[in-house]
Structure 1
Amino acid sequence: MLLYLNTHAALEQMRKQAERDNERGPRVMVVGPTDVGKSTVCRLLLSYAVRVGRRPTLVELDVGQSGVSVPGTVSALCIERPADVEEGFSVQAPLVYHFGSTTPGTNIKLYNKLTSCLAEVFSQRCEVNRKASVGGCIINTCGWVKGSGYQALVHCASAFQVDVVLVLDHERLYNELKRDLPHFVRVVLLPKSGGVVERSKECRRDTRDEKIREYFYGFRGVSYYPFSYEVRFSDVRIYKIGAPSIPDSCLPLGMSQDDTQLKLVPVTPGRDLTYHVLSVSSAEDGEEGARKGIVESPVCGFIVVTNVDTQAQVMKVLSPAPRPLPRHTLLIMDIRFMDMK
């Protein structure tokens, strides 16, 4: 804990220097394998910063165990008060993008694309908000640190123009980042907290389900009351981002596998849609508007399909808000949620 406090003190000195020189504050990326306490370190550093009057931004790139939104998303959140012990940070106006899976490896090109989108929006906010610029950001990453996962970390560091990389309990990763990142990036190796425990796959799955349940039903002591209603197939357009992988020899002339990873694939509603989580895209309604820039558009919220009636051409959904849906472009996730409440 003392090491993390010293880290906060060093970051605060960088913020003070940024204030004096009219420059931007530190942009910090926290990396390491699974179960080393990355989310906890991010929460500590953000809470310390808020307590001394800063307004840092949390960038959540862990699509499997998101601390801001439901799993299968990447997001950013301006932090204005310390994290609550049970509820975490107050999530009132996050910026959330649809990824659709719990591991970046399912579509690494989309993951890198969304990372760049978040970095661009954050930089634009820093240009018009001095407090956000000085406060900087803390970037929480996933635990995939080899192969394409490592390349995604390097891409993130480049997109956000990070100043500091905190490597938790992984000396090889520390040496690789020291070698591959620009010389002005400070790469620091820190030990993991003594209280960190290894979580099983079942524990991770339960945590994801609980995060989705909290989105619809609220936290302990703060209850939400979601709505259940029917939506006609004709009123919505459902897409999946990324076409299935096929051999290069079967692709159209001039097209590569990378081109298919950002392709919008229309989904026909059927019984296999039951229990899937759907993101409600903020993209403009209309066939052309829905397809143009839909990948780069943030989401308005999420619904869960609880039943599909193919004869009546309707599906029943669980929604945090009453009908109608704010937008009619929906993005399907690989994630399912069975409402047992």
Structure 2
Amino acid sequence: MAYGGPSTNSAAMSSASSQLKQVTLDKESELRIEVSNNAPLRLRVLNGTAEIFGSELPPEIWLTFPPRLKFAVFTWYGATIEMDGPTETDYTADETPMVSYVNVHAILDARRRRAKDSSSNDSESSQGPRVIVVGPTDSGKSTLAKMLLSWAAKRGSKPTFVDLDVGQGSITIPGCIAASPIEMPIDPVEGIPLDMSLVYYYGHTTPSNNVELYKALVKELAQVLEKQISRNAESQASGMVINTMGWIEGVGYELLLHAIETFSVSVVLVLGQEKLFSMLKDVLKTKGNVDVVKLQRSGGVVSRNVKVRQKSRSYRIREYFYGLTNDLSPHAHTSDFNHIQVYRIGGGPQAPRSALPIGSDPVSNPLRIAPVNIDRDLLHTVLAISYAQEPDQIISSNVAGFVYVTEVDVQRKKITYLAPSAGELPGRLLIVGTLTWLET
């Protein structure tokens, strides 16, 4: 976490004193903040207690939040907050759904306790709650998921966070589905740690690009997690919290049902959508072990247009290589074409026409692993480094990380890419999708 410590350089403070601001919050109210696009914001709790995304803030210690970050500081009993730096917006609100959110947490916590007690008796009821958060775009799904995870960790549980939102990416870059064990309340600045994450590369920012691949990766992730959790009684009793995309109609709705079934979900939390709640309540009523709960969306949620979403994705990719505050130093590498192999998933004929019934036309195979020529079409693409040893293992293998292609010299057969660290790549098989980035 970006701590500045309670003692601060007095000269620096005096030069920015005009931007110092104190805000007093009443109990069960929050300060909603959008950090400036051009400068970071420092914030601390002067007195009382407050939290961000369910994680309690340390008293009297400055935290530094990077530009463009949006968050809310909530207090249960009252607090005084001090800010140092510019904001795009900041205002207080006393109408929040936090009481209903924490009530849900209390019910989930009780189920985790029962599951933990049952695990010592080898009971079948040792499985903790598996919670999925669903709702339309910009309804606060990822924020609620973080709160539930942090509150659970604060109570001593170790739930697994599963992120199925390929459009934004709460764990790693967009274009991925991923999972990570949560052992401590989530850092309000740095977010979810990557060091223990399990990541599969889908390669696109919407499931509509390749629905069958999306479903296959969701199933693969669920199967791997099932094996891991079954060997760990604490993880099993702690359960899961699953974040989803905002596509909730048509195929998007079918993908939500697919996720609910694939992860054996026991609790569905529906944010801000009466129609979706009614549909899920109706279709899941035959499953007596699934609770569908409707919750109010937070008033602090801001609707984002396509351009804002694209910028957000770009910031997430940049953060992967350079860090939140440009504190990382990525390395440029140049490799011969024959040292790596690039593959794309999907496209191409599923079977030759001669192998099909008479009158049938060949259709594309969404799970086909196709080699890609290394040329200038790869410029500015983000490639995933697969752990697969052979091409036919790519879909069933998670990825080690990502590189960004900065130059392709076809004549010299050299490719230059940016990587988070020095040294050889952990694998020679790379995956390309439609995810691109223009470094600025």
TM-score (norm 2): 0.73
Shift of 1:119: 1.0
- 2:379 corresponds to: 274
| 3-state SS, counterpart of residue 262 of structure 1 | coil
Q: Distance in 1 between matches of 2:105 and 2:273?
A: 20
**CA distance change for structure 1 residues 155 and 28 in 2, over 3 Å: closer, same or farther?**
same
CA contact (8 A) 2:386 2:400 kept: yes
Q: Distance in 1 between matches of 2:342 and 2:283?
A: 40
| 3-state SS, counterpart of residue 119 of structure 1 | helix
| 3-state SS, counterpart of residue 393 of structure 2 | coil
Q: Distance in 1 between matches of 2:341 and 2:404?
A: 15
Shift of 1:325: 1.4
- 2:423 corresponds to: 323
- 2:312 corresponds to: 207
**Deviations 1:116-170 (Å, cap 9, x if unpaired)?**
1111111111111111111100000000111111111111111110100000011
Report 1:284-303 matches (<5 A).
Answer: 284=389, 290-303=390-403
CA contact (8 A) 2:391 2:429 kept: no
**CA distance change for structure 1 residues 121 and 196 in 2, over 3 Å: closer, same or farther?**
same
| 3-state SS, counterpart of residue 327 of structure 1 | coil
CA contact (8 A) 1:280 1:303 kept: yes
| 3-state SS, counterpart of residue 93 of structure 1 | coil
**Deviations 1:277-301 (Å, cap 9, x if unpaired)?**
00000001xxxxx222211100011
Q: Distance in 2 between matches of 1:275 and 1:305?
A: 5
CA contact (8 A) 1:231 1:316 kept: yes
Paired positions, count:
333
The answer to whether 1:95 aligns with 2:195 is no
CA contact (8 A) 1:81 1:90 kept: no
Moved >4 Å (runs of 4+): 248-252, 254-259
CA contact (8 A) 2:136 2:247 kept: yes
CA contact (8 A) 1:303 1:317 kept: yes
CA contact (8 A) 1:237 1:329 kept: yes
Higher RCO (Cα < 8 Å, 6 or more apart): 1
**Deviations 1:26-83 (Å, cap 9, x if unpaired)?**
0000001100000000000000000000100100000011110111000000011112
Which amino acid in 1 is paired with 2:272? D
Q: Distance in 2 between matches of 1:244 and 1:214?
A: 34
- 1:161 corresponds to: 264
**CA distance change for structure 1 residues 251 and 28 in 2, over 3 Å: closer, same or farther?**
farther
Give 1:231's match in structure 2, choosing from 335, 355, 359.
Answer: 335
Report 1:41-80 matches (<5 A).
Answer: 41-80=144-183
**CA distance change for structure 1 residues 279 and 45 in 2, over 3 Å: closer, same or farther?**
same
**CA distance change for structure 1 residues 327 and 197 in 2, over 3 Å: closer, same or farther?**
same
| 3-state SS, counterpart of residue 422 of structure 2 | coil
**Deviations 1:174-194 (Å, cap 9, x if unpaired)?**
111112222320000111011
Shift of 1:250: 6.6
Report 1:1-341 matches (<5 A).
Answer: 1-22=98-119, 23-181=126-284, 182-220=287-325, 223-243=327-347, 253=356, 260-284=365-389, 290-340=390-440
Q: Distance in 2 between matches of 1:113 and 1:201?
A: 27
**Deviations 1:285-332 (Å, cap 9, x if unpaired)?**
xxxxx2222111000110010010000011110011223211110000
Shift of 1:91: 2.3
Q: Distance in 2 between matches of 1:39 and 1:219?
A: 19
The structure that has the greater radius of gyration is 2
CA contact (8 A) 2:167 2:245 kept: yes
Q: Unpaired runs of 5+ in structure 1?
A: 285-289
**CA distance change for structure 1 residues 256 and 42 in 2, over 3 Å: closer, same or farther?**
farther
| 3-state SS, counterpart of residue 425 of structure 2 | coil
| 3-state SS, counterpart of residue 403 of structure 2 | strand
Which amino acid in 2 is paired with 1:237? Q
| 3-state SS, counterpart of residue 189 of structure 2 | coil
Q: Distance in 2 between matches of 1:176 and 1:99?
A: 28
TM-score (norm 1): 0.93
CA contact (8 A) 1:109 1:258 kept: no
Q: Which moved more, 1:84-93 or 1:105-114?
A: 84-93
Percentage of identical aligned residues: 40
| 3-state SS, counterpart of residue 223 of structure 1 | coil
CA contact (8 A) 1:240 1:264 kept: yes
Shift of 1:339: 2.0
| 3-state SS, counterpart of residue 260 of structure 1 | coil
**CA distance change for structure 1 residues 251 and 177 in 2, over 3 Å: closer, same or farther?**
farther
CA contact (8 A) 1:82 1:89 kept: no
* Higher-helix-fraction structure: 1
- The root-mean-square deviation of aligned C-alpha atoms, in Å, is 1.9
* Higher-strand-fraction structure: 2
**CA distance change for structure 1 residues 156 and 312 in 2, over 3 Å: closer, same or farther?**
same
**CA distance change for structure 1 residues 318 and 257 in 2, over 3 Å: closer, same or farther?**
farther
